[in-house]
């Protein structure tokens, strides 16, 4: 009998580190920019400029432009996105908002352009789907981080001055530094839902996008989840939906492969911890995990509740749920000079 070799997983692909004066483009990669949020976009530009970058708005990011629930047709968004990926002057791309469109152009993305010139792509919500797919196809480190309009120009502006300065320094260091950041700043909401300490590559996003992505040809191979620290969050819907998504991850074998879990602060989910005896999010998670002995850190600032701590997809982290620490053990970017491919010297775990 002839054994067929399994396809080799892509190695970790780190973008080139940004330097002061590099061009960062804010683009509409999914939803439209509603006119009333144009001032938020201006504030997002100011935040990025405060980090030392030049900022440009992509052409589709025109207030009031839309097609159905999207900013444009999927092929139009893909065309602009691919143009940014191919433009050597563009050193990072920040999504202005999430939405419901990324599934429409996964098959139109120029993956070769990403391999040739990997760049940081920042965003969450629907953009977390991009991070998962690009990581699966190319090994690209995705930056699950605040979007421009609701994040940098919205949630950040409602935070304290000290918190905004802390986040600005953290984001700038993540994009420009070639040394591990170490421990992310822990917040008072963090909770230990199951104790333990593990290390592994960070993988995650919106839980519904993780589940749906696995039903496409762009799914992450299950081997990618071996020893991983899975982070996820969710916006809206019912508590029972979250329970169902976790059950799908159980049936797929993902929960048997991961080493740890980080759960974001839930946002607008009906049926959580109600006086009628509804479960808490922690109870839902532990119910589905059963006797799987993996650490779980809950209510971390990841996702729609904002502001976001950055979660670089693919980077090795250390999770200590009992001590309530999450540390980045590797840099998310490579030195500006050297290996032109940006590929890690070791295969991803």
Domains of the chain listed by start with CATH number: 23-176 (3.40.50.10740), 182-328 (3.50.30.60)
pLDDT for 142-167, tens place per residue?
999 999 999 999 999 999 999 999 99
Helices 281-289 + 239-251 axis angle, to 10: 20
Cβ-based neighbour number of residue 258 at 10 Å: 21
pLDDT for 253-287, tens place per residue?
999 999 999 999 999 999 998 878 799 999 999 99
Task: Answer yes or no: is pLDDT of 179 > 80.
Answer: yes
When pLDDT is cut at 50, 70 and 90, the band that residue 173 belongs to is very high
pLDDT at residue 316 in the model: 98
pLDDT for 219-263, tens place per residue?
999 999 999 999 999 999 999 999 999 999 999 999 999 999 999
Q: Average pLDDT of 95-114?
A: 98
pTM: 0.94
Q: Average pLDDT of 170-178?
A: 98
Rounded to whole angstroms, how far apart are CA atoms 125 and 189?
Answer: 21
Mean pLDDT of the chain: 94
Q: Mapping DSSP to helix (H, G, I), strand (E, B) and coil, where does residue 144 land?
A: strand
| Residue with the two structure tokens 């421009």 | 148
When pLDDT is cut at 50, 70 and 90, the band that residue 211 belongs to is very high
| Residue with the two structure tokens 């059963």 | 290
pLDDT at residue 293 in the model: 95
pLDDT at residue 274 in the model: 80
CA-based end-to-end distance of the chain? 30
pLDDT at residue 338 in the model: 47
pLDDT for 115-136, tens place per residue?
999 999 999 999 999 999 999 9
Distance of CA 15 to the CA centre of its chain: 15
Which of 206-210, 269-273, 295-299 has the lowest average pLDDT? 269-273
What residues have CB less than 8 Å from 23, skipping those under 6 apart? Answer: 53, 54, 55, 56, 89, 90, 91, 92
Find the helix or strand (DSSP H, E) in which 264 lies.
strand 260-264
When pLDDT is cut at 50, 70 and 90, the band that residue 337 belongs to is low
What residues have CB less than 8 Å from 290, skipping those under 6 apart? Answer: none
Task: Answer yes or no: is pLDDT of 6 > 60.
Answer: no
pLDDT for 23-54, tens place per residue?
999 999 999 999 999 999 999 999 999 999 99
CB 128 within 8 A of CB 102: no
Phi-psi region of 271 (alpha: psi -120 to 50; beta: other; left: phi over 0): left
Q: Average pLDDT of 162-173?
A: 97
CB 296 within 8 A of CB 263: yes
pLDDT at residue 7 in the model: 53
pLDDT at residue 290 in the model: 98
Task: Answer yes or no: is pLDDT of 342 > 70.
Answer: no
């Amino acid at each position: 009998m002839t054994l067929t070799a399994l396809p080799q997983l892509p190695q970790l692909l780190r973008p080139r580190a940004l330097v002061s004066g590099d061009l960062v483009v804010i683009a509409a990669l999914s939803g439209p920019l509603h006119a009333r949020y144009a001032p938020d976009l201006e504030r997002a530009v100011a935040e990025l400029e405060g980090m030392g970058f030049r900022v440009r708005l992509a052409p589709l990011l025109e207030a009031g432009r839309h097609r159905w629930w999207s900013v444009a047709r999927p092929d139009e968004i893909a065309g602009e996105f691919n143009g940014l990926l191919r433009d050597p002057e563009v050193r990072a791309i920040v999504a202005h908002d999430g939405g419901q469109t990324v599934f429409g152009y996964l098959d139109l993305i120029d993956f070769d352009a990403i391999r040739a010139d990997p760049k940081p792509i920042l965003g969450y919500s629907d953009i977390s789907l991009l991070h998962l797919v690009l990581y699966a196809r190319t090994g690209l480190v995705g930056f699950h981080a605040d979007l421009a309009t609701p994040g940098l120009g919205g949630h950040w502006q409602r935070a304290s001055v000290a918190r905004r300065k802390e986040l600005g320094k953290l984001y700038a260091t993540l994009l420009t530094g070639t040394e591990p950041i170490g421990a992310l700043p822990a917040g008072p909401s963090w909770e230990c839902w199951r104790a333990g300490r593990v290390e592994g590559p960070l993988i995650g996003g919106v839980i519904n996008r993780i589940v749906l992505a696995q039903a496409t040809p762009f799914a992450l191979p299950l081997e990618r989840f071996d020893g991983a620290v899975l982070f996820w969050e969710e916006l809206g819907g019912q508590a029972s939906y979250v329970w169902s998504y976790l059950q799908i991850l159980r049936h797929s074998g993902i929960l048997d492969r991961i080493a740890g879990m980080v759960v974001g602060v839930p946002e607008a989910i009906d049926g959580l911890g109600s006086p009628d005896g509804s479960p808490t999010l922690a109870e839902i998670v532990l119910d589905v995990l059963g006797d799987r002995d993996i650490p779980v850190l809950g209510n971390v600032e990841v996702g729609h509740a904002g502001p976001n701590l950055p979660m670089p997809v693919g980077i090795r982290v250390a999770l200590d749920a009992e001590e309530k620490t999450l540390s980045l053990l590797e840099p998310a970017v490579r030195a500006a000079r050297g290996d032109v491919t940006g590929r890690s010297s070791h295969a991803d775990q």
